[in-house]
Amino acid sequence: MIDVIIAGGGPTGLMLACELRLHDVNVVVLEKLTEPTRQSRGQGLHARSVEVMDQRGILDRFLAVSEKFQVGGLFGGIAKAWPEGLDTAHPYGVATPQPVTERLLDERARELGTDIRRGREVVGLGQDEDGVTVELADGTRLRSRYLVGCDGGRSLVRKTLGVGFPGEAATVETLLGEMELAEDPETIAAVVAEVRRTQLRFGAAADEHGVYRVVVPADGVSEDRAGEPTIEEFKERLRAVGGSDFGAHSPRWLSRFGDATRQAERYRVGRVLLAGDAAHIHPPTGGQGLNLGVQDAFNLGWKLAAAVKGWAPEGLLDTYHAERHPVGAAVLANTRAQITLLGAEPGPTALRELFSKLMDFEEVNRYITGMITAVEIRYDFGEGHELLGRRMRDMPLKQGRLYELMRDGRGLLLDRTGRLSVQGWADRVDHVVDVSEDLDVPAALLRPDGHVAWIGEDQEGLLEPLRRWFGDAG
């Protein structure tokens, strides 16, 4: 029997596979596409996702093919200078097109031994107390202990489970694609600048090869949301909104997206879980979607591995929903607000002008940037130290950097006292003594995802969080 089947080989599914393989979990990824997608809706990684890649030792791969960027806020089309004092040692994002992100994660997942099967579409599933049966389009049936649906906003896994997906249907639709434009670049830039004074869902920007990424409001909302637009539809809308089709031709890919906002009522049903767009959909404002899915996987991976390996304490797998559902709901809320700010009517225009002035205040800019980049997330671990529930930023230690010690996806006790012990949990938790004065607390217990599970200096006080997050002593 397979340990875990992942339905969907996008960034979320591949990141989850990488996390599971760190713990020697037998993973099969089923992806219905025979070849990697060329579509690039996700355009990069925000600061928290940059941290995640550093924690797992693959950030250098992204930096080798990406440019860093620093845009504070990036909220509702409003960009400000990067704020001072953001709680991260990686105060930047990386501009990485989604196909590149998928390629890098695919390469890492295969290095770790993941079985990735393309051209394999999941069409049905059933579960019992011992496992999950997955049916493929070719009639094949596979059996696994757990199944994770990372199969997108139209998730077959979610629908088959009967999980509710409440929210709002799309009210506006936008066309997005890559193509060549015959018009003079200076003319294109001038038209875009003029139109964007009132219509922020319009743009055309060229890459280093002269291929343009074009975005333009659609004419209403398509009844067939799965159908791709044509180049003629793009040209018609460019003429209607911008006064010229810029000589658009030779499309690389074309797509459409709406402002539908929905979230799964439950992220877990028995042995089946949901992550990424299968669990939540929202407009791409703020560039949060891909990042949200990758961070879902980062939260779930070690917990699911613990369940497979048999050391998960009671309720650990349920903390995935408890922690990530509120995070998803918050992203849905801020994208709703951003869609309002993007409106071209007088009300949204006035609101955007006011919001832009508010973001000139450093504290407001820092708050918005922390929200969009996800570095300000704090899970509810109960009352305690201000660091409790937050992820710990990278810091220099006498033995290197903190994130360098987290490559294997294990728990970590940072101990300045030299009096503490993880005896009984050493197969799950590393212990580092004499960690340097950059750690301004006596000791901190970190989960494999870097979130602080305990702050203190007493061995007796350490035992409860060790049991809570890492099970009984061995």
**pLDDT(181) > 90:** yes
Question: What tens digit of pLDDT does each residue of 52-65 get?
Answer: 999 999 999 999 99
- Per-residue model confidence (pLDDT) at position 225: 60
Confidence of residue 224 (pLDDT cuts 50, 70, 90): low
Worst-scoring range by mean pLDDT, 65-79, 89-103, 262-276, 310-324?
65-79
Query: What whole-number distance in Å separates Cα of residue 160 and Cα of residue 79?
Result: 41
Considering the domain 2-167+262-373 in this protein, what is its CATH number?
3.50.50.60
The answer to whether 384 and 455 are in contact (CB under 8 A) is yes
**pLDDT(376) > 90:** yes
**pLDDT(222) > 80:** no
Question: What tens digit of pLDDT does each residue of 34-51 get?
Answer: 888 777 666 799 999 999
Query: What whole-number distance in Å separates Cα of residue 176 and Cα of residue 42?
Result: 12
Question: What tens digit of pLDDT does each residue of 105-158 get?
Answer: 999 999 999 999 999 999 999 999 999 999 999 999 999 999 999 999 999 999
What mean pLDDT is predicted for residues 62-69? 94
Q: Which of 160, 143, 142, 140 is nearest to 151 (CA)?
A: 160
What mean pLDDT is predicted for residues 194-215? 90
Location of each CATH 3.40.30.120 domain in the chain: 396-470
Query: What whole-number distance in Å separates Cα of residue 111 and Cα of residue 121?
Result: 23
Query: What whole-number distance in Å separates Cα of residue 215 and Cα of residue 176?
Result: 5
Location of each CATH 3.30.70.2450 domain in the chain: 174-258
Confidence of residue 364 (pLDDT cuts 50, 70, 90): very high
The answer to whether 375 and 86 are in contact (CB under 8 A) is yes
- Per-residue model confidence (pLDDT) at position 223: 67
Would you tell me which CATH number, out of the four given (3.30.70.20, 3.40.1350.10, 3.30.460.10, 3.40.30.120), belongs to the domain 396-470? 3.40.30.120
β partners of residue 149: 7, 274
Query: What whole-number distance in Å separates Cα of residue 297 and Cα of residue 472?
Result: 25
Q: What is the mean pLDDT of the chain?
A: 94
C-alpha distances (whole Å) from 14 to each of 17, 111, 382, 390, 429 are 5, 12, 32, 25, 25
Question: What tens digit of pLDDT does each residue of 406-465 get?
Answer: 999 999 999 999 999 999 999 999 999 977 888 899 999 999 999 999 999 999 999 999
Residue with tokens 């599971």: 20
Instruction: Please give the class, per CATH, of domain 174-258.
Output: alpha beta
Location of each CATH 3.50.50.60 domain in the chain: 2-167+262-373
C-alpha distances (whole Å) from 18 to each of 25, 57, 110 are 10, 12, 8
Question: What tens digit of pLDDT does each residue of 234-287 get?
Answer: 999 999 999 999 999 999 999 888 889 999 999 999 999 999 999 999 988 888
Containing H/E element for 263? strand 261-263
Residue with tokens 């408890």: 322
pTM of the model: 0.93
In degrees to the nearest 10, what's the CA dihedral of 324, 295, 21, 156? 70
Dihedral sign for Cα atoms in the order 60, 62, 67, 71: negative
